[in-house]
Structure 1
Amino acid sequence: MTALADKISARATPTRFVATNGRTLAYREIGSGPPLILCLRFRGVLDSWDPAFLDHPARSFRVITFDYSGLGQSGGDASYRAEAMARDVIDLADALAVDTFALAGWSIGGLAAQAATCMVPDRVSHLVLIGTTPPGPVEHPSEPIFLETALKPVNDLADETILFFEPASAASRAAAEASHQRIAARRGDRSPEIPPETYIRLLKDRAAPDTFPDPGGYRDFLARGTVPILVISGDHEIVFPAPNWFALSRAWKSLHLVVLPQMGHGPQHEVPELAAEWIASFIRHRAKPR
């Protein structure tokens, strides 16, 4: 990227398109350095990321965000199955001639990131999981308020506060409003929101007893793998409760776990600079064993 492009905020960086394996993927990138690819949440599109969170790591990394196939501005067939979303990651990296990359996933994007890591472990240098769940059965389910709120056709600021922050905390409520305003500040070149009929169909298609079905043995693979893994979670995570990771803290030999107080499902939007600093430091200082 050029020096001028390096200075563009995520609020203004243009959408680009690349054709790969029969569909077109929409993506944006900001910064330069080692690549960091980010996978989106449920109902997320390119404009669902807080630009403050993206701008900070872009000082040191080439930060790449994208719309999943068939969603936002991307073409092709949409799916919320982990393997399909993971294939988007791998195909995008191939199309951009990115061989090795750090990979991060938020919420359902964490499923994509874990699946992609298992599919191409030699290409993923680091795995960062934000507000997500490990593969296979878990002890602690989502709180009912999550789906009650997430399935509304339109989510306003009050809904976003419930979904991604901690409504009981005045500081978290203020952070929710600030993040909402930062995200809304982009003018033009926005990815369209996902219509209810689409996200409900995709949820039904991936319905299974476990939130993250594991017929391929992802859990065992990640437990014995060498890719450094950082999990960041709020202590009041209503979607994928943090305690589901506690039992894995010694079973997964490369797992690092950070739980933030009085925060919810989107800690990287509540404390964007802090979360970005942790991620950047983790990538710099926790290398794969040789």
Structure 2
Amino acid sequence: MIKRFLLAAMLASTVIAGSVAFANPVFAADYSKTPNKYVEIGGTRYAYRTIGERGGKPSLVLFQHFTGTMDDWDQRTIEGLSKDREVIVFDNAGIGASGGKSPDSVSGMAKISEQLIDALKLQQVDVLGYSLGGCIVQQILVDRPELIRKTIIVGSGPQGSPGLRVIPDVIAAAVKKSGETGRSLRAILFYTDTERGKAEGAEYLKNINNHLVDAEPPASEETTGAQAKALVTWGSMPDNYAALGRITQPVLIVNGSNDIIAPPPESVVLFQHIPNAQLSLYPDSGHGSLFQHHALFVSQVNTFLDRAE
């Protein structure tokens, strides 16, 4: 029942938009035209995309939110991040263009991610974990800390997070609200109810699921159920404060002022327990804070990643 409900909820939020126009185009690369690449690991083929030039900087690997595919990244944010470095996005097992079966645990997803980084022969990377992706990068920092130079965690929380524990209830309430108001479910979950939030939520929907090559299908019922179990289990486990205290890498933590999926206090907890962390909270924003404030977010990420430690 939960699997069917969550799948229907996420499918209802999918928006197909046309080409994106920028008032002041400054990006050389167009994410909507970035083709898939593939790597085989243990007999399973995984899909990924690269955009931007690596140069002398570590690649920035992005870890997606619950049920999100590579097509669900906001084009403006991806292109902004890739202006100064190589950005790698990928589909974990069982989602998008990747084969295999989705793990139903954060640790299982982290293991696959580690294998992907190894398969791409990347000695050390910077990582950006968004929502579920933020849980995954926390696990990688425990499992394979040598793989990561710097970390950005957005809209996520530590193990034992109350917000992540009740995600099915949050989505149920949003589905009801969407039915009553006619507003997109994705916009309700990711953006605030203010006039600014509604307007920027509508703009965000134009900048996702608009890939012109290798467009991906939405998450299947099986994958949705597995990822939901992983998130709820992560939120129900004992805290990982001791493990967070052993993280030595610099960590930038970002959240919106009104995130209903990973409430801001959970980002504060991460900030309090990771020794070398900094916290940035964005005004009048929800779970999609990095997309709503994409220019500010890109600027802060670039400053954070380029700063000498």
What is the CA–CA distance in structure 1 between the aligned matches of 2:43 and 2:100, rounded to whole Å?
Answer: 7
Could you say which residue in structure 2 is the equivalent of 1:226?
A: 248
8 A Cα contact 1:260 1:267, kept in partner: yes
8 A Cα contact 1:38 1:64, kept in partner: yes
Superposition deviation, residue 213 in structure 1? 3.0
Q: How does 1:1-290 map to 2 (within 5 A)?
A: 7-33=28-54, 34-136=58-160, 138=162, 146-148=170-172, 158-167=184-193, 169-204=194-229, 207-208=232-233, 211=235, 213=237, 218-285=240-307, 287=309
**Structure 1 moving runs of 4+ over 6 Å:** none
Alignment CA distance shift 1:139-1:16 (3 Å): closer
SS in 1 for 2:206: helix
Cα deviation code 1:149-175 (max 9, x no counterpart): 6779x99962111111112x2112111
Q: Which amino acid counterpart does residue 221 of structure 2 have in structure 1?
A: P
- Normalising by structure 2, we get a TM-score of 0.81
Q: Which amino acid counterpart does residue 99 of structure 1 have in structure 2?
A: Q
Superposition deviation, residue 80 in structure 1? 4.1
Q: Which amino acid counterpart does residue 77 of structure 2 have in structure 1?
A: F
Larger relative contact order (Cα-Cα within 8 Å, sequence gap ≥ 6): 2
What is the CA–CA distance in structure 2 between the aligned matches of 1:51 and 1:66, rounded to whole Å?
Answer: 15
SS in 2 for 1:245: helix
SS in 1 for 2:102: coil
What is the CA–CA distance in structure 2 between the aligned matches of 1:150 and 1:112, rounded to whole Å?
Answer: 25
Give 5+ residue unaligned stretches, structure 1: 1-5
Cα deviation code 1:252-276 (max 9, x no counterpart): 2112111111100011111112111
What is the CA–CA distance in structure 2 between the aligned matches of 1:245 and 1:131, rounded to whole Å?
Answer: 7
Alignment CA distance shift 1:205-1:232 (3 Å): closer
Cα deviation code 1:36-84 (max 9, x no counterpart): 0000101100101001101011111110001111111101121241112
Q: Which amino acid counterpart does residue 60 of structure 1 have in structure 2?
A: D
Could you say which residue in structure 2 is the equivalent of 1:3?
A: none
Q: Hey, which of these two has a bigger chunk of helix by percent?
A: 2
Alignment CA distance shift 1:249-1:165 (3 Å): same
Cα deviation code 1:189-218 (max 9, x no counterpart): 11110133531244246643x51635xx84
Point out the more displaced range, 123-132 or 246-255.
Answer: 246-255
- Normalising by structure 1, we get a TM-score of 0.86
Alignment CA distance shift 1:18-1:149 (3 Å): farther
Aligned-residue sequence identity (percent) comes to 26
Alignment CA distance shift 1:139-1:270 (3 Å): closer
